[in-house]
């Protein structure tokens, strides 16, 4: 597009700041004016990167997805398939939230609550990210079952639902009550749930992580 700024470093800085803001105030909390003040750039120059608030919101989701993949998904997928990978997906997610990679905790937890009942492109993009995460966790559970590390009656979608619920509850409680103990409780709950479905052939991966 003619006249469009092409400084990717500046664009990335804008989007990272936008993701930080949205993790606390939601995507509706973003504005060209607020970002321009925060970053010391002109409103007209910043507008040239995105063109509309919706495009800014969509680009912010994509930027947050990149951070999420680097912090949670890619490190967990480095673990071979099995119960260890299931545990790493949970542990990496809890660490990402606990360390406040985004200042408002999990970016996607915040924007999902904001847009879950609001139709449109932004909601569809947020929903797609949530589906991919659910499918990833359920797929890891299914792989562990196929390898004989989880019992044959383990239902991957159900177990993934429960594990994600533990993670998201820790994120919510830690933010609302400023309670870091929530993460310890979530880890304990996840370990107990996985242990209940593990076979005798499985070695609890959280024990090796602590040794």
Q: Give residue-wise pLDDT tens across range 37-75.
A: 888 878 887 878 888 889 999 999 999 999 999 999 999
Residue 29: is it exposed, middle or buried by C-beta count within 10 angstroms (0-12/13-18/19+)?
A: middle
**In contact, 61 and 126? CB cutoff 8 Å:** yes
pLDDT in tens, 115-134: 988 999 999 999 999 999 99
**pLDDT band per the 50, 70, 90 thresholds, residue 208:** low
- At residue 1, the pLDDT reads 36
Parse the chain into domains and list their residue ranges.
66-210
- At residue 37, the pLDDT reads 86
Does residue 209 or residue 41 have the better pLDDT?
41
Q: For residue 211, is pLDDT > 90? A: no
DSSP label at residue 101: S
Q: Which spans in the chain are helix H?
A: 8-25, 32-39, 43-50, 53-68, 74-77, 83-98, 107-115, 121-146, 156-177, 181-197, 205-210
Residue 93's CB: how many other CB atoms inside 10 A?
Answer: 27
**pLDDT band per the 50, 70, 90 thresholds, residue 6:** low
**pLDDT band per the 50, 70, 90 thresholds, residue 9:** confident
pLDDT in tens, 132-144: 999 999 999 999 9
pLDDT average, residue stretch 32-36: 85
Q: What is the DSSP string of 57-81?
A: HHHHHHHHHHHHIIIIIHHHHTSPT
| 66-210 under CATH 1.10.357.10, yes or no | yes
**In contact, 170 and 164? CB cutoff 8 Å:** no
pLDDT in tens, 73-107: 999 999 999 999 999 999 999 999 999 999 999 99
Q: For residue 5, is pLDDT > 90? A: no
**In contact, 198 and 159? CB cutoff 8 Å:** no
Percent of the chain with pLDDT strictly greater than 90: 75
User: Closest Cα to residue 30, out of 41, 19, 39, 40?
Assistant: 19
């Amino acid at each position: 597009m003619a006249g469009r700024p092409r400084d990717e470093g500046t664009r990335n800085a804008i989007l990272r700041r936008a993701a930080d803001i949205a993790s606390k105030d939601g995507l509706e909390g973003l504005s060209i004016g607020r970002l321009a003040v925060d970053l010391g750039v002109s409103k007209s120059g910043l507008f040239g990167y995105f063109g509309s608030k919706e495009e800014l919101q969509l680009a912010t989701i994509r930027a947050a997805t990149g951070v999420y993949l680097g912090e949670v998904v890619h490190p967990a997928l480095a673990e071979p398939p099995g119960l260890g990978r299931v545990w790493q997906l949970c542990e990496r997610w809890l660490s990402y939230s606990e360390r406040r990679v985004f200042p408002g905790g999990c970016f996607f937890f915040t924007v999902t609550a904001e847009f879950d009942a609001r139709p449109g492109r932004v909601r569809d993009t947020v929903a797609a990210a949530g589906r991919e995460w659910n499918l990833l966790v359920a797929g890891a559970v299914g792989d562990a079952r196929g390898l004989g590390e989880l019992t044959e009656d383990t239902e991957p979608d159900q177990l993934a639902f429960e594990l994600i619920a533990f993670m998201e509850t820790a994120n919510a409680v830690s933010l609302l009550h400023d309670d870091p103990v929530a993460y310890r409780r979530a880890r304990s709950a996840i370990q107990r749930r996985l242990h209940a479905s593990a076979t005798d052939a499985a070695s609890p991966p959280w024990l090796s992580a602590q040794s």
